[in-house]
Each structure stands twice: as structure tokens, then as C-alpha cells.
């Protein structure tokens, strides 16, 4: 029971073919400041504010692959 109380819900995963993207947390006024993220050579990058995960299309991290 304690494990369930301490578990963190999974972050939102967005699959993209872009190397650069912006995240503002969505939700208008409930979001966060817009940050620009660079994936580089990695298969994913996470937003430092909302933990939204941007995943490269077709990579090992892609839940649809």
C-alpha cells in the first residue's frame, strides 16, 4: 500500500520527428513558462518543469514502435 502512495504517475509522452521543440505545459494559465528543448542525438528529452517526455519517432523509447 505504501508503494502505491509514493508512486509517481507516468508523464505524458509525445512522439515527434522534430529535434527541437517547445513546451509550455499546456493548459493555458495552468501551464509553465515556455522552454525550448533540444533532443540532440538522444531518443528523448524531458521538460524540466512538467516532466512531459518528447520521444523520437521509431526509437526504442517510442511506445508505438
Give pLDDT tens digits for 49-63. Answer: 999 999 999 999 999
DSSP 9-57: PPPPEEEES-SEEEE--SSGGGS---EEEE-TTSSEEE-TTT--EEEET
Backbone angles phi, psi at 3, to 5 degrees: -65, -40
Domain boundaries, the chain: 11-56
| Contact indicator for 47, 23 with CB cutoff of 8 Å | yes
Give pLDDT tens digits for 8-41. Answer: 656 899 999 999 999 999 878 888 999 999 999 9
Fold of 11-56: HSP40/DNAj peptide-binding domain (2.60.260)
Amino acid at each position: 500500500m505504501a508503494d502505491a502512495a509514493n508512486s509517481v504517475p507516468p508523464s505524458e509522452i509525445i512522439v515527434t520527428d522534430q529535434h527541437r521543440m517547445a513546451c509550455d505545459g499546456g493548459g493555458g494559465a495552468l501551464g509553465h513558462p515556455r522552454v525550448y528543448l533540444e533532443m540532440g542525438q538522444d531518443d528523448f528529452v524531458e521538460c524540466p518543469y512538467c516532466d512531459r517526455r518528447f520521444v523520437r519517432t521509431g526509437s526504442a523509447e517510442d511506445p508505438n514502435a
